[in-house]
């Protein structure tokens, strides 16, 4: 049954209850995949008594279409949306290569401005840990594809994927990339992430970075 949530914080609390028995006080790091994921992740990290960090990801859409072409990670790697076949990727890149290259440069600059900030993922903090990936919603598998590529060279214990709401397509990708899934609701007609929350308790990017900085200072 399709679920709606009063807020991201409430959804994060519900996810934390599923994780509590197995992962409290274990070697875990909660890694948010987007700004809304930080709000959820804060609840999970508080319940599990573990670190919270944001993985810097920037998505690039196909011009004129509401489709994610691929995702740039803070390591500089670019992961194509696995929804596209190789032929479709080649076709889009041939048609829009100038625009796409400009977007990659622009968004890598944005990532570089934040690298080194408190609360941003440092790969070393993930080694030999259970990594709990959190997003406030997964309309497709693009963020998971990019996160999996980022984590591939790291020796993590287990990859646990958590989200309140996901599309069928995102769940398919999650099964391929994760060791354990905690997904509260699945839909084959994903509208918009904000649609599934009564309260829009998310923040702009700079506020999210400030929240993470405060959390890190509180731990120190």
The string of DSSP codes covering 14-58 is HHHHHHHHHHTTSSEEEEESSHHHHHHHHHHHHHHT-EEEE--EE
The pLDDT tens digits of the residues spanning 9-47 come to: 999 999 999 999 999 989 999 999 999 999 999 999 999
The pLDDT tens digits of the residues spanning 143-176 come to: 999 999 999 999 999 999 999 999 999 999 999 9
Judged against a pLDDT cut of 90, whether residue 193 lies above it is answered with: yes
Question: What is the pTM assigned to this prediction?
Answer: 0.91
Range of weakest confidence among 62-76, 86-100, 143-157, 206-220: 206-220
Q: Smallest Cα–Cα separation from 38: which of 121, 108, 111, 158? A: 121
The reported pLDDT for the residue numbered 72 is 93
Q: 10 Å Cβ neighbour count for 124?
A: 7
* Domains parsed from the chain with CATH numbers: 8-58+119-219 (3.40.50.2020), 60-114 (no CATH)
């Amino acid at each position: 049954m399709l679920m709606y949530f009063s807020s991201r914080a409430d959804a994060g609390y519900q996810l934390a209850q599923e994780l509590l028995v197995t992962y409290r006080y274990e070697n875990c790091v909660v890694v948010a995949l987007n700004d809304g994921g930080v709000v959820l992740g804060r609840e999970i990290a508080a319940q599990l008594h573990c670190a919270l960090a944001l993985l810097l990801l920037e998505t690039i859409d196909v011009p004129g279409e509401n489709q994610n072409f691929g995702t740039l990670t803070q390591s500089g790697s670019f992961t194509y949306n696995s929804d596209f076949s190789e032929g479709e990727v080649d076709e889009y890149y041939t048609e829009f290569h100038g625009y796409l290259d400009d977007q990659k440069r622009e968004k890598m600059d944005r990532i570089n401005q934040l690298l080194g900030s408190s609360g941003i993922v440092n790969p070393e903090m993930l080694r030999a840990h259970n990594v709990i990936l959190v997003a406030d919603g997964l309309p497709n598998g693009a963020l998971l594809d990019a996160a999996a590529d980022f984590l591939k060279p790291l020796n993590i214990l287990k990859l646990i994927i958590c989200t309140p709401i996901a599309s069928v397509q995102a769940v398919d990708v999650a099964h391929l990339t994760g060791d354990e899934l905690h997904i509260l609701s699945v839909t084959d007609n994903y509208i918009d992430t904000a649609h599934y929350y009564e309260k829009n308790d998310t923040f702009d990017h700079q506020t999210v970075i400030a929240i993470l900085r405060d959390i890190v200072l509180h731990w120190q």
